[in-house]
Structure 1
Amino acid sequence: MKKLSSFIVICTFGLTVFMVLLIYLIVSLGYENVVVHQAEKNAKTMADVTYNALYQVMRKGWSRQDVAGFLDGSRKILRDTRINVVIYQSESLATRYGRLYDMPPDTHVRTVFENGMISTVRNGGIIRHIYPLIASSECLACHTGTRSGEVLGVIDSRIDIGAELKETREKLMVFLAVLALIPLLASLFLARYFSRRVARGISDLHARIEGVNRLSDLTQLCTVDMQFGFNEFKAMFDEMNKVISRLRTFAIDKDVLEFEVKLLERFIITSEVVKDWKAHVNNILVEINSIMETYFFFSLFMIDEESYDLEVFWRNTPAEQTKLHFEGIIRQKLAGNQRLAHLPAVNIIHNVALPLSALPLLKAEDIELQTKSLFLESPHIGGIVGIGVVSDLGDKSARSLVIESILATLLNVVGSVKAVYRYTKELEFYATRDPLTNLFNQRVFWEMLNNEVDRAARHEYKFALLYLDIDNFKAVNDTYGHAFGDSILQHVSEIMKTSLRQGDMAAHYGSDEFAIILPESDEKQAYLVASRIIQGLQDGVVTAPDGVVLRITVSIGISMLPAHAKTAKELFMMADNMRSKAKYSGKNQVVCPSEEDLTEVYRMIGEKNILIMESIEEKLIVPYFQPILNMTSGRVEAHEVLMRINLPGGVMRAEEFVGIAESMGVISRMDHILMEKVFSKVSSDGYDGLLFINISPKALILNEFIPNVRKLTKEYGIDPAKVVFEITERETVKNMTLLERFVMDLKLENYKFAIDDFGAGFSSYQYLKRFPVDFLKVDGEFVRGMAGTGSLDTAIVKSIATLAHGLGIMTVGEYVENEEVLRAVGEVGLSYAQGYHIGLPSPELVVQ
């Protein structure tokens, strides 16, 4: 920014220079025009005089010598002047009488010889008047052979004005330069004078502005009459006073703004809300008290149409009298609210943030005067209907306005805290539970079974596993529909719950199958529990939609650890075999393994061990491909690779041998054979879609896994970006660091990574935080549950889809077994769909 004094000086200097140049230009050009005009007149006069003198000489009959003498005399007279006269002869006269001058004629002279016309020209600083000597009848007497009108000569009269013009310009420039000093000196004086006058006023104004620290100080600034010495500046200051006066009507003190900011900073929702929403709100109250003294605040929640809770959060323990005062006042406020006046009885719940100290005794009038409240027309997030704050602000009306302004924010924060807490607890519950029966799901069952096996080994006790399924369930389901089938499952689960001991763990394993872990139990106790379940089902009846009374029965298999198995998988396999034996023996009964059963099962396991080794040696492992549908394009754009063993009597599914292969330590060799056959098939068929390949957790500890995969993809020309490796949470969550390194190595090679059965375990979200995930395969139990009235499953799947979309992750819905589920998958926004409705696993790829 320029100073005002500098601006005046610069402007004056520029204007002076401009005027000097303008005056110089005008005067110089004017003077030059006058001089040139006068020189032209003088040159013409000189030419006329020379012509007349020469004419008189010629009339007297002078000889050539006489004429030459006359001309020499004329030149001597003009020698010291700026005038010069040159006479040129025509070629005919020069030939006849000889040349008077040796100077040859230039272009201008030759032109006059040719046209016989007078010419005035300017060559630089020389003015020339060129006059033709034309032969008249008198001339013909002496100049024989000449005709009348012929140009006999030319008089070139010249006047040099260059030196005069140069001298005049120099004198003019010196004069104007001296003259320009006057306005420049005057501008310096005026600038200094003006600057000092204004600076005094500005300095005074600056000092007064520096003294403005709060809104009330603006009044002092407005009433001051500043003296700038100029009316224009006074008018500007008067306008500034008007702006300040208007500003005071809506401005807020800085300390009030800081007060509001500090309050809002206390409203941040942290992860602590997941633990206990009331504790979090108590912390907010304590934080607010670091800014202002707040005795308590309250929030009103709608629980249902007929039930309301009023949560009161006290800073310290209140006296009973204070509680009674508050409850009376709040009931009056509710009665005075048009919408809330007809509420049913409100349940008032008191919470204390700092219970070790007592709250000052508050009178009813104090509470009423210091209460700021806000009630809504309808419940907002978390069911919150209203909120109020009771604080001691004294006479600070501005802060009181701040409290009123943030009530809506506080209401949303408290409502959100409660909603987040409730939703998190529901999500945590249904991530581990089957939403239909509220029993543990299959994922949690395996975690509990493995934990129980470890604990039993450490403490050297035995426990039992019951595995059961409902007899003839498929027939009932097909006859009366899935809704009635779901009610049967719920009925069985309720009978199971009433039959179990405290500490027993029941799970809905899948479809019509249930599993029960009985810690620290022997075979007799397990048999008693199983018998109670069968008896409970016999005592109860279920009425079908058509009125038919059904008696539900189950077949139960029992296995004991360590008597019947050493590992969780062996224990489960034994119970499953006993369940099958109960089915084949007539159903509705309990079967425990005999010595013959144990021998048979171990024989089967031994046979499978041999079969697995033969499948590796003879490469009997074959890939099956299940198509995956892109929900946007409606095309099959991916396949999941499933492992099978090709036997003479049929194909063995993965669930029949994978557990045994893992315990044998050969699963990685089987994975290698499978991938080699998959890549060979893909290469020969020209398939360019995505390939989802399940990898065993054993691959995490094999350093050669990724080099082998890299070698195979290079050998068969497979794009790594088309290969998606799936890992499930249950088997890898304990090796998170190892898994993290493994996934990073995969991504460096440009392979993609998917989490299988996402949502089945609460810690699935750890994957999203730590790994660069490309796909989430939503647990099929949730996807399948979206059919019919599965509103909870739909909400869970939709939340997963929304989360994945926000993170740029694609989603796959598993267990899509009918058109209804497929439609639900599209409605919640999943990217892909997979299941029997899309296509059964096949040895052939679907190439589109």
Structure 2
Amino acid sequence: MKKLSNFIVVCTCGLTLFMVLLIYLIVSVGYENVVGQRAEKHAKNISDMTFNSLYQIMRKGWSQKDVAEFLDGNRKLFSGTNVNIVIFQSESLAARYGRAYDVSPDQHVKDVFKNGITASIRTGPVIRHIYPLVATSECLGCHANSRSGEVLGVIDSRINIAEELKETRSKIIMFLALIALIPLSAAFFLARRFSNRMSSSLADLHGRIEGVNKVSDLKSLEIQDLELGFSEFTSMFDEMKKVIGKLRDVAIDKDVLEFEVKLLERFIITSEIVRDWKAHVCHILIEINSIIETYFFFSLFMVDEESYDLEVFWRNTPSDQTKAFFETVIREKLSQSPRFGHVANVNIIHNVALPLATLPPLNVADIELQTKSLFLEAPRIGGIVGIGVISELGQHSARALVIESILATLLNVVGSVKAIYRYTKELEFYSTRDPLTNLCNQRVMWEMLNVEIERAARHDYCFALLHLDVDNFKIINDSYGHVFGDKILQGVSEIVKSALRRGDIPARYGGDEFSVILPETDGQQAYLVAQRIVDDLKEISFTPLDGGALKVSVSIGVSQFPTHARTSKELFMMADNMRQKAKYAGKNQVAIPSDDDLAEVYRMIGEKNIMIMKAIEEKVIEPYFQPIVNVATGLVDAHEVLMRINLPDGKVMCAEEFVDIAESMGVISKMDYILMEKAFRKASASAYRGLLFINISPKALILSEFIPTVRRLTREYGINPSNIVFEITERETVKNMALLERFVLDLKLENYKFAIDDFGAGFSSYQYLKRFPVDFLKVEGDFVRGMTNVGGVDMAIVKSIATLAHGLGIQTVGEYVENQDILKAVGEVGLTYAQGYHVGLPSAELIIDELPDGSGSGVKKV
């Protein structure tokens, strides 16, 4: 920061130097012109004197000796001076008498010989006067060969004024230097005096300002005026006093501000609310008590129009009398409110944060006087309609205002905590259940199947798996509509459940397919259960909207562990093949594998094993790109990279036909690397700048070579890591979640993004959401596809997921968007992106729009 005294000295020095230079320049140039003009006159006079002397010698009749003596005398006369005279002869005289000076004429002399005109020339410090000797009639007596008016010679008088100018300039500089000392000395003296005066005044002002730490201290600045020494600064200080007066009127005490900040810092919503919202609210109460002693706070929730829940959170265990006093006060307060006066049923629930300690006794007066409350006309998020806090504020009126001001914030926090907890619990339920039939969903079926295989192998017993579907369901659905189709699925699920024992596990696999796990059941017993389902369905009929009765049948396949298969994938494949066999045999029946069936299935598995290894060796794995559209803009901002295998006959095999086998072989990671390399190569070649979603098994993420391979591929093809989104799938179970978390965080630090695939369909989804820095949630497609169904369960689930994601700042993708109605519903619930056959089919090429400048934007409106 500059000092004013230094600034004055520097400015004065600069101005003085500038003036000295300016004066020196003016005086020097002026003097040089005067000396030059004087030298010109002197040179002319010398030329005239030389000519007159020479002319007199010529008139009396001169000889060569006379001329030589004259010239020699002329040299001696100006020897040691700054004057030099040279007499040049014409060519004719020089040839006749010889040259008087051994000097060749320059161009100026030649010009005077030629035109006979006197010339005055200045070349630097040298002043020249060139005088022509013109022949007259009198001269022709001696110079018979000349003619009148001819230039017989030239007198070149030269005066060098360099020494004179140098001496004069030195004197001027010395004089100006002495003159400059006067303003510089004055500036230094004034700056010193000004600095001392300002320093003492500002030190006094600084001391007073340092004493101001809260609003009341501002008064000390008004005790007396400060003498700053200058009217301008005094006026400035007067204005400062006015500002201080205004600050005193509007400022908030620093302690109160810190108090409010500390309170608000405690209102942080964490992932712990997923476990127990009440425990989280108790934690908030404990945190508030670290700032100010707070006995309890309560929150009022609307259950329905005539019923409310009032949750009371006590810091410590209250006495029964204190509870009774509180209930009396709160019921009276509610009865006096026009909003709650008609409410007959208020269920008061008491919760204690620290039950081992006892709360000090409170009477009715304490509760009435120290309670700050806020009630709303309409319920907010979580159904909350009111909140109240009782704390020991004493005489702190400002803090009481703070408590009142944060009630709205506390109300929103508590309401949000309960809402998130409720939404999460609903999501957890529906993540394991099919919303239409309330059976386990496909993801849970696979988890339970793996668990049952481990248990059966450990305890050495067999169990069976049934897989069935409704015969001709597509025709029924198309003929009678989705509502009637849903009714059939619900009816079939009830028949299936009624045929099972306690402990059997029925599940809706998807569409019209169902699976049933029968623990400790052999093949023959499983066949009987399946036949019972077939027979029970024959006994009932379904009534469409147009009347009549419709019979429904199912085809069921049976497989047994460990007789038919030893892995979950193979066991399911066997049951599914038997289901298809039952269909081909005429439907409405049960099929259990024979020895020939087992041989055929294992032959197919072996052929696929060979095909997969050959595909890896020949690198015929190809990426297909399915567009993902931004619901708000209609632009394709992203693509999901899907794996395909090019077969020798020109056909393309989809991933679902070989992924399970590739995973069981342990080669899926190699296929992923080939897929990524080809996808990145295409993206680079087409200058694609959108997002690429890539399905990765969690087990692939924790391989030591995964991160180096991804780094190498992105660098090699110039792909921005922030454009790569790894979809974490649940194809395989990862036991070491901490290791997976470390690998995910390492990739996240390099700007790669992550998405949870099929969110809402399994337990692991929530573990991933809690532990990993997720950027996208891809909502389970069955929920999205069912959003337009009657009943609204799927719609409620997707809304809950959208609300949860929005609260966590995560973008969402709705899968299985198969028509315009679903796309519209996706936009209405607030999902960010949509993906499905209605948006676009998988293609071997990326969708890239062209900008006017010809560069690929990476997006296209669809």
Task: Tell me the TM-score normalized by structure 1.
Answer: 0.72
Q: Where in structure 2 are there 5+ consecutive unaligned residues?
A: 613-621, 630-634, 684-691, 699-727, 748-752, 848-862
Q: Where in structure 1 are there 5+ consecutive unaligned residues?
A: 592-596, 642-674, 840-844
Alpha-carbon distance change, 444 to 290 in structure 1, aligned in 2, over 3 angstroms: same
Computing the radius of gyration from Cα coordinates, the structure with the larger value is 1
Do the aligned partners of 1:693 and 1:724 also contact (CA within 8 Å) in 2?
Answer: no
For the residues of structure 1 that align with 2:565 and 2:74, how far apart are their CA atoms? 151
After superposition, the C-alpha distances for 1:529-564 in whole angstroms (9 at most, x for unaligned) are 999999999999987645668999999999999999
For the residues of structure 2 that align with 1:277 and 1:12, how far apart are their CA atoms? 73
- 1:226 aligns with 226
Q: CA deviation at 1:760?
A: 2.8
Residue correspondences, number:
778
For the residues of structure 2 that align with 1:191 and 1:349, how far apart are their CA atoms? 77
For the residues of structure 1 that align with 2:564 and 2:124, how far apart are their CA atoms? 130
Percent identity over the alignment is 58
- 1:791 aligns with 792
Q: Which moved more, 1:154-163 or 1:109-118?
A: 154-163
Q: CA deviation at 1:847?
A: 14
For the residues of structure 1 that align with 2:792 and 2:587, how far apart are their CA atoms? 38
Do the aligned partners of 1:628 and 1:833 also contact (CA within 8 Å) in 2?
Answer: no
Do the aligned partners of 2:642 and 2:694 also contact (CA within 8 Å) in 1?
Answer: no
Could you say what secondary structure the match of 2:763 adopts? coil
Q: Which moved more, 1:763-772 or 1:213-222?
A: 763-772
Q: Which moved more, 1:260-269 or 1:477-486?
A: 477-486
Alpha-carbon distance change, 315 to 494 in structure 1, aligned in 2, over 3 angstroms: farther
Counterpart AA for 1:692:
A
- 2:655 aligns with 692
Could you say what secondary structure the match of 1:785 adopts? helix
- 2:389 aligns with 389
Do the aligned partners of 2:774 and 2:810 also contact (CA within 8 Å) in 1?
Answer: no
After superposition, the C-alpha distances for 1:85-138 in whole angstroms (9 at most, x for unaligned) are 444443444555665545444333332222222222234433332223333344
- 2:22 aligns with 22
Alpha-carbon distance change, 66 to 468 in structure 1, aligned in 2, over 3 angstroms: closer
Structure 2 residue corresponding to 1:609, chosen from 598, 604, 609 = 598
Asked if 1:129 is matched to 2:129, the reply is yes
For the residues of structure 1 that align with 2:460 and 2:51, how far apart are their CA atoms? 153
Counterpart AA for 1:107:
Q
Q: CA deviation at 1:421?
A: 0.5
- 1:198 aligns with 198
Q: What are the residue-to-residue correspondences of 1:426-465 with 2, within 5 Å?
A: 426-445=426-445, 447-448=447-448, 451=451
Alpha-carbon distance change, 506 to 354 in structure 1, aligned in 2, over 3 angstroms: same
Do the aligned partners of 1:695 and 1:725 also contact (CA within 8 Å) in 2?
Answer: no
Counterpart AA for 1:264:
L
Alpha-carbon distance change, 535 to 834 in structure 1, aligned in 2, over 3 angstroms: same
Asked if 1:208 is matched to 2:208, the reply is yes
Q: What are the residue-to-residue correspondences of 1:537-548 with 2, within 5 Å?
A: 545=545
Counterpart AA for 2:48:
D
Q: What are the residue-to-residue correspondences of 1:333-344 with 2, within 5 Å?
A: none
- 2:281 aligns with 281
For the residues of structure 2 that align with 1:127 and 1:225, how far apart are their CA atoms? 73
- 2:836 aligns with 833
Q: What are the residue-to-residue correspondences of 1:51-450 with 2, within 5 Å?
A: 51-61=51-61, 65-66=65-66, 68-70=68-70, 72-73=72-73, 75-79=75-79, 81-95=81-95, 100-319=100-319, 322-323=322-323, 326-327=326-327, 330=330, 345-445=345-445, 447-448=447-448
Asked if 1:761 is matched to 2:750, the reply is no
Asked if 1:813 is matched to 2:816, the reply is yes
For the residues of structure 2 that align with 1:189 and 1:819, how far apart are their CA atoms? 87
Do the aligned partners of 1:775 and 1:812 also contact (CA within 8 Å) in 2?
Answer: no
Do the aligned partners of 2:775 and 2:810 also contact (CA within 8 Å) in 1?
Answer: no
Alpha-carbon distance change, 780 to 57 in structure 1, aligned in 2, over 3 angstroms: closer
Q: What are the residue-to-residue correspondences of 1:468-617 with 2, within 5 Å?
A: 481-487=481-487, 490=490, 507=507, 545=545, 601=592, 604-615=593-604
Do the aligned partners of 2:776 and 2:811 also contact (CA within 8 Å) in 1?
Answer: no
After superposition, the C-alpha distances for 1:769-789 in whole angstroms (9 at most, x for unaligned) are 889999998656435533422
Counterpart AA for 1:788:
N
Q: CA deviation at 1:463?
A: 9.9
Alpha-carbon distance change, 143 to 283 in structure 1, aligned in 2, over 3 angstroms: same
Counterpart AA for 2:24:
Y
Q: Which moved more, 1:445-454 or 1:551-560?
A: 551-560
For the residues of structure 1 that align with 2:122 and 2:384, how far apart are their CA atoms? 103
For the residues of structure 2 that align with 1:499 and 1:430, how far apart are their CA atoms? 24
- 1:680 aligns with 647
Counterpart AA for 1:430:
Y
After superposition, the C-alpha distances for 1:313-340 in whole angstroms (9 at most, x for unaligned) are 2223445555555556555665676666
Alpha-carbon distance change, 400 to 536 in structure 1, aligned in 2, over 3 angstroms: farther
Counterpart AA for 1:679:
N
For the residues of structure 2 that align with 1:123 and 1:475, how far apart are their CA atoms? 116
After superposition, the C-alpha distances for 1:561-613 in whole angstroms (9 at most, x for unaligned) are 999999999899999999x99xx9999xxx9xxxxx9xx95xx3423223335
Alpha-carbon distance change, 196 to 400 in structure 1, aligned in 2, over 3 angstroms: same
Q: Which moved more, 1:552-561 or 1:292-301?
A: 552-561
After superposition, the C-alpha distances for 1:375-419 in whole angstroms (9 at most, x for unaligned) are 445432212233333322233333333333333322221111111
For the residues of structure 1 that align with 2:438 and 2:674, how far apart are their CA atoms? 47
Counterpart AA for 2:232:
E
Could you say what secondary structure the match of 1:786 adopts? helix
Do the aligned partners of 1:693 and 1:726 also contact (CA within 8 Å) in 2?
Answer: no
**Alignment RMSD, CA only?**
6.1
- 1:9 aligns with 9
Q: What are the residue-to-residue correspondences of 1:695-714 with 2, within 5 Å?
A: 702=665
For the residues of structure 2 that align with 1:164 and 1:344, how far apart are their CA atoms? 119
Counterpart AA for 1:284:
I
Do the aligned partners of 2:39 and 2:159 also contact (CA within 8 Å) in 1?
Answer: yes
Could you say what secondary structure the match of 1:394 adopts? coil
For the residues of structure 2 that align with 1:549 and 1:74, how far apart are their CA atoms? 152
For the residues of structure 2 that align with 1:92 and 1:554, how far apart are their CA atoms? 143
Could you say what secondary structure the match of 1:131 adopts? strand
After superposition, the C-alpha distances for 1:126-160 in whole angstroms (9 at most, x for unaligned) are 33322233333444455444433333333333334
